[in-house]
Chain A
Amino acid sequence: MFEARLVQGSLWKKLLESIKDLLNEAIFDCSSTGITLQAMDSSHVSLVSISMNSDGFDTYRCDRNLSMGIHLPSLSKIMKCAGNDDIITMKATDDADTVSLVFESQNNEKVSDYEMKLIDLDTEHLGIPETEYSCVVKMPSSEFQRICRDLSQLGDSVVIACTKEGVKFSASGELGTGNIKLCQSASTDKEEEAVVVDMNEAVCLTFALRYLNFFAKATPLSAQVQLSMSKDVPLVVEYKISELGFLRFYLAPKIED
C-alpha cells in the first residue's frame, strides 16, 4: 500500500506544470523514504531529478517499493482538476496498474477522486556523481525566467559567464547581441530577492535557451533558483520544493563547432 497526503496540494500542481512539457513520461519511484523521479527529455540533452522526502508529506506510507510509470501530460490534466487550496492524496495498492488521486477542499465539503492508468516504462537510471561546482549562483527565480525569455529574442544559446563580481548572461543572433549582468546583492535584507555568487573559479559556458525556458516553468515552485556550474559539465538548475525536497534540471553544455 502506498499513500502520500499533501495538505499543500498546489505543490503537486506546480511540479507537474514544471515538467510536463519537457518529459512525456517518467517513473515515480516510491519507497519508505519518499518519492523520486529521474528522467531524460526525448533528445537526451537534459535530465530531470526530483526528490520528495516522506517527512515533508502530512501522511506518508509505502509498505513496498513501487515504481509507477506515468504519462505526465495525463497526470497534469488530472492535477488541474484539483483546486489550488485542495489537499491532494496519491494512493496505489501494491502491484496496481492504476494510481488514485483524491482532492479534498480545505473545509472538507468537496471530495473528488480520480483514477489514472499507469504505463509500462523501461528507463535507464543514470548515476549522477556528487560534484563540487566552480560557481554556484542563487538568484530570484522570476529574474532567471525573465532573462531566459528576453535573451530568447536574440538567439538560441546563452553564454553564462560567472565571476566573483556577478553573473553575465549573453546571447547573439541575426538581429544583434544582448547582455544582462547581475551583480551580487550588497545587502540581503530580502533573502528571496538576493543574488548570491559563490565562486571558486570563474566559468563561462554555453547552453541552449530552449531548455532553460522549459526549466523556468518551475518558477512558481520557489522564489529562488540555484545555478551550479563547472567547466565542461552539465549545468544544474535547482528549485526547492518547499519542505519536501527539490526539483533539479541538468543541462548538457553546448560546445563550439
Chain B
Amino acid sequence: PHGQMKISSFFSSP
C-alpha cells in the first residue's frame, strides 16, 4: 500500500 515496494522485486531467485 502507499507505494511500498516488495523486496523480492530487487533480488533475484537463483
Contacts and interface: CB of A to CB of B under 8 A. Distances in A.
B13 A45 contact: no
B13 to A, nearest CB: 5
Give the contact-size bracket for chain B.
10 to 19
Minimum-distance CB pairs A-B, first 7: A126-B11, A252-B5, A255-B3, A252-B7, A47-B7, A254-B3, A44-B6
Interface of B: 2-14
Contacts of B14: 125, 127
A178 interface: no
Contacts, number: 54
Contacts of A170: none
Nearest to A125: B14
Interface of A is mostly: loop
A254 B8 contact: no
22 contacts: A44-B8, A45-B4, A45-B5, A45-B6, A45-B7, A47-B7, A125-B13, A126-B7, A126-B8, A127-B12, A128-B11, A157-B2, A208-B4, A234-B10, A234-B11, A252-B4, A252-B6, A252-B7, A252-B10, A254-B5, A256-B3, A257-B3
Nearest to B11: A126
A125 B3 CA distance: 25
B9 to A, nearest CB: 7
Given A126-B13, A252-B5, A254-B2, 11 more contacts: A44-B7, A45-B6, A124-B13, A126-B7, A126-B8, A126-B12, A127-B12, A157-B2, A234-B7, A250-B10, A251-B7
